[in-house]
């Protein structure tokens, strides 16, 4: 196994489950010291326990990224625990409810999804950059989505938020590359996560219908997304700036 991140302090939001959990574990396996952030402290601690069982180094931190103060606190925790912050994977997100009638989508649900998925990315980067400036040549990877390029019914806040993450990633990339901070986003398609389960429920016919939309004709494992994120964080991706890397099995090709 490669050891590309030895000595690096890595912060992963949404690290208690799904893509975030898989990525935190993958970073630790390659020598990183990982701050696992999740709004559910128990799931963050479970990820840390898995990392520790493999001989890795990690620390759990409970935070809701819809709060700028919480984002500042998670960065302060990384600096206090590991002496700095070298890599950030801003992955926390929620799907929100599925509401077939557009006008029935509540203002409260809209505000919550935008606060976590879009404002949370902005808050995280705003908090991370001062610490990352001191590290030099550091990458930020945000989680956008295939939904950054497509629309779907019944989930307007999620679609809008992921379009917003795409634009925010590109805007931040232009501002921050002058300081040696590379900002890019991974755009997953259908991945075997709790969010995917919420999307299709337990109905096998619905699941098959979703899966068939991607030319690869299967759902990705979270570990496959983790491999993409680690590439984006590595020196091999040193010329990658403002990219929206589609890891969606061909879902957005057509």
Catalytic residues: 158
| Spatial distance between the Cα atoms of 117 and 110, rounded to a whole number of angstroms | 11
Contacts of 89 (CB under 8 A, 6+ apart): 10, 11, 12, 13, 20, 23, 27, 140, 141, 143, 229, 233
| Spatial distance between the Cα atoms of 69 and 66, rounded to a whole number of angstroms | 9
Region of 13 please: left (phi>0), alpha (psi -120 to 50) or beta. beta
* Alpha-carbon dihedral 206, 20, 148, 136, rounded to 10 degrees: -170
Query: Which strands form 87-90's sheet, in the order they lie side by side?
Result: 57-62, 33-38, 9-13, 87-90, 139-143, 182-188, 244-247
- Determine how many CB atoms are found less than 10 A away from the CB of residue 69: 10
Helical segments of the chain, H only? 18-29, 41-53, 68-82, 107-114, 120-133, 156-176, 194-200, 204-211, 222-233
């Amino acid at each position: 196994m490669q050891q590309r991140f030895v000595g690096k302090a890595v912060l992963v939001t949404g690290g208690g489950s799904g893509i975030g959990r898989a990525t935190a574990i993958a970073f630790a396996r390659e020598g990183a010291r990982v701050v696992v952030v999740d709004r559910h402290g128990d799931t963050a601690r479970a990820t840390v326990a898995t990392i520790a069982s493999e001989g890795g180094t990690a620390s759990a931190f409970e935070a809701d990224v819809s709060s700028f103060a919480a984002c500042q606190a998670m960065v302060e925790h990384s600096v206090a625990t590991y002496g700095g912050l070298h890599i950030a994977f801003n992955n926390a997100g929620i799907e929100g409810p599925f509401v077939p009638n557009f006008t029935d989508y509540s203002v409260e649900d809209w505000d919550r999804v935008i606060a976590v998925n879009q404002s949370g990315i902005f808050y995280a980067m705003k908090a991370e950059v001062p610490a990352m400036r001191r590290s030099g040549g550091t990458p930020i990877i945000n989680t956008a989505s295939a939904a950054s390029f497509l629309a779907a019914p019944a989930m307007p806040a999620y679609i809008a938020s992921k379009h917003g993450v795409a634009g925010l990633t590109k805007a931040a990339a232009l501002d921050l590359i002058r300081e040696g901070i590379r900002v890019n986003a991974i755009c997953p398609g259908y991945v075997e996560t709790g969010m995917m389960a919420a999307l299709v429920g337990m109905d096998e016919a619905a699941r098959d219908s979703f899966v068939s939309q991607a030319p690869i004709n299967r759902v990705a494992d979270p570990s496959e997304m983790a491999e993409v994120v680690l590439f984006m964080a590595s020196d091999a991706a040193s010329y990658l700036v403002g990219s929206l890397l589609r890891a969606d099995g061909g879902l957005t090709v057509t």
